[in-house]
């Protein structure tokens, strides 16, 4: 018999480099898949150009001299190689960039294949406010948005963009912050 209840997975066995011994992963996510729309459209456009170039190569070769034809092939091949390589680098960066929410902090890990290796951590105790922004037709239709985290008393903010299901992550962060503050207030009482 099939059940319509959602499958709840536990994050207790999830681990990452730099995780504290007692730190528990509550959730993690990547940017929403719609952030790759323009890259997919550009990739499809490049593939169409490759097909058109190969279909009309005979006609193109009759118009250009052999030297110009070789130069054209070199330029087109270089441009196509660049864009195809760029597409796979962007796709890889999308999967390497992760937001991790634990019971102690929020981590934003941004990686790329060659140049970027960033890790930003925000302690839940230092957070003042979390705001959810979800405006526009696409953001509401595909259920993604932005979370803006205000830190302490300063106007410093961290913005997490293209977060899938931002309402869930907003509630999870607020709940984790309340539990973290409650446990840190209880610890000094236990030590006395």
Token duo for residue 78:
């270089």
Q: Rounded to whole angstroms, what are the CA distances from 181 to 101, 107, 149, 192? A: 15, 18, 17, 18
Are the beta carbons of 163 and 169 closer than 8 angstroms?
yes
What are 93-131's pLDDT values in tens digits? 999 999 999 999 999 999 887 888 898 888 998 898 999
Which residue shows structure tokens 């106007």? Answer: 155
Give the per-residue pLDDT at 41: 92
Does pTM top 0.85 for this prediction? Answer: no
Strand stretches in 17-103, DSSP E: 25-29, 98-102
Helices (H), 22-65: 37-55, 57-63
What are 35-77's pLDDT values in tens digits? 999 999 998 998 898 888 888 888 888 888 889 889 988 998 8
Q: How confident is the model at residue 4 (pLDDT cuts 50, 70, 90)?
A: low
Rounded Cα distance, 90 and 46, in Å: 15
Hey, what CATH class is 25-186 in? mainly beta
Tell me how long the chain is.
192
């Amino acid at each position: 018999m099939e059940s319509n209840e959602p499958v709840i997975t536990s994050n207790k066995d999830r681990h990452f480099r730099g995780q504290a011994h007692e730190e528990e992963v509550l959730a993690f996510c990547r940017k929403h898949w719609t952030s790759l729309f323009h890259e997919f459209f550009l990739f499809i456009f490049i593939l169409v150009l490759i097909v058109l170039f190969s279909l009309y190569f005979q006609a193109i070769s009759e118009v250009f001299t052999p030297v110009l034809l070789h130069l054209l092939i070199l330029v087109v091949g270089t441009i196509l190689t660049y864009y195809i390589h760029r597409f796979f680098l962007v796709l890889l960066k999308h999967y390497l960039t992760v937001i991790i929410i634990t019971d102690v902090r929020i981590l934003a890990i941004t990686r790329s294949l060659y140049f970027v290796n960033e890790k930003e951590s925000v302690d839940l105790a230092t957070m003042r406010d979390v705001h959810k922004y979800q405006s526009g037709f696409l953001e509401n239709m595909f259920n993604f948005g932005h979370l803006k985290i205000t830190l302490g008393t300063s106007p410093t903010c961290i913005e997490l963009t293209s977060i899938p299901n931002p309402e869930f992550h907003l509630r999870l962060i607020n709940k984790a912050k309340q539990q973290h503050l409650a446990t840190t207030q209880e610890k000094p009482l236990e030590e006395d």
